[in-house]
Amino acid sequence: MKLFDVYPILDIELIKSEGSYVFDVQGNMYLDFYGGHAVISVGHSHPYYVKTLIEQIHKISYYSNSVYISQKKKLASLLGNISGYEDYSLFICNSGTESNENALKIASFHTGKKKVIAFKGSFHGRTSGSLSITDNYKLISPFNTQHETIFIKYQDFDSLEEKLRKKDICAIITEGIQGVSGIIDPGLDFFYKIQNFCKKYNTILIIDEVQSGYGRTGSFFSHQLYPIKPDLITVAKGMGNGFPIGGVLIHPKFKPYYGMLGTTFGGNHLACTAGIAVLEIIKEEKLIENAKKMGEIILKELSVIPEIKKIRGRGLMIGVEFDFPVMDLKNVLVYKEKVFVGVSNNPYVLRLLPSLNIDENHIKLFLKKLKNALSYLYGKNGKK
């Protein structure tokens, strides 16, 4: 059987990883400033993470949600504590798209409504509900068009309020910081206004922190820079450091009942063990503080590179905008300089999403490789 060929892949096979480095089958070492798409939060093959997963797999790796799984309780308790959302409850699933799908369901059950407001440039996942709130027509099949979503520009508050006035909107959903669109933070004014609109028009506020959460931006959730509290928060990616796990943090006003939500795999022993290990490492190694500090250093260093037009983001969620399309640069970085970086839907923007435990030596190495790549492509002093 062949694979269903949906991914344009790099011609690289990785067989080993350690910290911020990954190694290919030929023995080449790569600096990972992409974190496998914002997934690697505590570093590749972290010894404590590996040890606890191995210990757990020897005991029991899976049983369904029909039995008591103490690891689920422990994960929820740790997550409540580290995020400051102790009074919320947690529903555990397996991925980012599922977490958004479940958040939409909770909002819809609660309000009895179905229309959703999402924002231009959004990406929320590839299952039907999450796709319907994703602003990319190329991904949407006719089957996915049956939902009722209204896309609004981030700062178009007049249109937003006009839609809300009809009082038929179930939820407003936004990423904490948009990732796929090229690292866009809608900012304090936006969050403050949408929170007030949600209260005024009895609409649920969902913040998708799948990419921007779990310490990546220097606070546990990116929205915590602002004085707001969403009703539902979705997480995944960094939550398991590569083990598939996602979740919804749910305000106490939502009342659960048996059968309301469910999953076969979500919240199993092994997934929760991965989730617990990640939070323990984040706490023990002060990785949120580290993300903030390292992010500030990178932003400062990038700001003096002449080819860079704009730098966006916070902590270790950084968008670097050039005045030329970055695909060649990305390829030189990967194949020649041996460093992984991400691209985005904006062809001019590179995305940096390294693990939260990088240090200044990783940054120095990254900057050296970036300068080498620029000078290789655009001349000795890096000028185009």
Give me the residues that bind ligand PLP (CB under 6 A), please: 95-97, 100, 123-125, 175, 179-180, 208, 210-211, 236
SS3 125: coil
Kindly report each contact of residues 292-297 with a partner whose C-beta sits within 8 Å and lies 24 or more positions away, as own/partner: 292/218, 292/219, 294/358, 294/359, 294/360, 294/363, 295/217, 295/218, 297/360, 297/363
Contact 235, 302 (CB under 8 A): no
Tell me the closest approach of the beta carbon of residue 183 to ligand PLP, in angstroms: 11
Q: What share of the chain is helix, strand, coil (3-state, %, to 5)?
A: 40, 20, 40
H helices present in the chain, as ranges: 35-38, 47-59, 70-83, 96-111, 128-132, 157-165, 187-200, 269-284, 287-302, 327-331, 360-378
Residue closer to ligand PLP (CB basis): 245 or 332: 245
- Is 96 or 295 the residue whose CB approaches ligand PLP more closely? 96
Residue 211 vs 357, nearer CB to ligand PLP:
211
Which is closer to ligand PLP, CB of 103 or CB of 164?
103
Q: How far is the CB of 75 from ligand PLP (least distance, A)?
A: 17
Q: Which is nearer to ligand PLP, 180 or 332 (CB)?
A: 180
Residue 166 CB, nearest approach to ligand PLP (Å):
27
Helix, strand, or coil here: 280?
A: helix
Nearest residue (beta carbon) to ligand PLP = 96
- What is the residue whose two structure tokens read 């000028």? 383
Q: Between residues 99 and 332, which has the closer beta carbon with respect to ligand PLP?
A: 99
Shortest approach of ligand PLP to residue 286 CB, angstroms?
A: 25
Q: Which amino acid is at 371?
A: K
From the CB of 23, what's the least distance to ligand PLP, in Å? 25
